[in-house]
């Protein structure tokens, strides 16, 4: 609350273009892929993650994949609604929530994208906004066509390679992000 000259309290205005923050838990392997893409594109990791999620949300094959998990109808466009199957699968069977090495990955979305993500979350029938974002982010990182839309010209096989935990930095004299 802000005090006015006359002593009356006024509520502060919020920006019309304020972004919505979300921090899904993702595994360290996915974080490494996002870091490599960010270095290749020379933009922050959060922007790469947000672009991947939006690209997945706009991809028709992605939405068709998640239709097996929908519990409610989902509006893709103004005139296109996707209805759930009769016996939907549990989305938590797809999401790997019990990984040992994972951490929060902070993303920011505009209000319009956040509303679309909320509709997607409701269609999945999950109560956490971050879980819907996590599902889209993990799907986007495993699909070469979505990675190519975000980072054209990137060799996808290069980013699918993950180092085993014991061989992260074999030479101790070389600088690494894993130290």
Give the span between the Cα atoms of 136 and 134, in whole angstroms.
5
Q: Is the pLDDT of residue 165 over 70?
A: no
pLDDT band of residue 29 (cuts 50, 70, 90) is confident
Bridge partner residues of 102 (DSSP):
27
User: Domain locations in the chain?
Assistant: 18-151
**pTM for this one?**
0.78
Please state whether beta strands 9-10 and 102-104 pair in parallel, antiparallel, or not at all (unpaired).
Answer: unpaired
Residue 45 is predicted with a pLDDT of 92
Rounded to whole angstroms, the Cα distance separating 77 from 61 reads 14
Q: Helices in the chain by DSSP H: which ranges?
A: 28-41, 45-58, 60-66, 91-94, 111-124, 129-142, 144-150, 156-160
- Of the candidate ranges 14-18, 67-71, 159-163, the one whose mean pLDDT is the lowest: 159-163
- For 33-61, write each residue's pLDDT tens digit: 899 899 988 999 999 999 999 999 999 89
Mean pLDDT rounded to a whole number for the chain = 80
The secondary structure of residue 83, as a DSSP letter, is: P
The pair of three-digit structure tokens given for residue 15, joined into one six-digit string:
């920006």
Q: How much is the pLDDT for 54?
A: 95
Q: What is the pLDDT of residues 126-156, one digit of tens each?
A: 989 899 999 999 999 988 889 989 888 877 6
Distances (CA, A) of 178 to 63, 101, 165, 174, 175: 34, 13, 10, 11, 9
Please name which of 81, 66, 83, 42 lies closest in space to residue 143, comparing C-alpha atoms. 66
Cα atoms in the 13 Å half-sphere on the side-chain side of 133: 25
Q: pLDDT by residue (tens digit) across 86-125?
A: 888 888 888 876 766 778 899 999 999 999 999 999 999 8
The reported pLDDT for the residue numbered 157 is 61
CB atoms near residue 38 (< 10 Å): 17
């Amino acid at each position: 609350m802000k005090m006015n000259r006359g002593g009356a309290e006024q509520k502060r205005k919020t920006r019309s273009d304020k972004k919505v923050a979300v921090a899904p838990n993702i595994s360290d392997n996915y974080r490494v892929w996002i870091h490599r893409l960010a270095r290749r594109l020379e933009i922050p990791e959060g922007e790469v993650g947000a672009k991947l999620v939006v690209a997945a949300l706009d991809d028709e094959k992605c939405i068709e994949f998640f239709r097996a998990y929908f519990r409610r109808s989902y509006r893709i466009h103004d005139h296109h609604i996707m209805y759930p199957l009769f016996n939907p699968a549990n989305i938590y069977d797809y999401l790997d929530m019990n990984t040992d090495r994972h951490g929060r990955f902070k993303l920011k979305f505009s209000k319009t994208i956040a509303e679309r993500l909320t509709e997607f979350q409701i269609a999945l029938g999950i109560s956490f906004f971050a879980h819907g974002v996590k599902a889209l982010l993990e799907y986007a990182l495993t699909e070469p066509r979505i990675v190519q839309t975000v980072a054209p010209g990137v060799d996808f096989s290069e980013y699918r390679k993950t180092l085993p935990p014991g061989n992260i930095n074999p030479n101790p004299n070389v600088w690494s992000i894993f130290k």
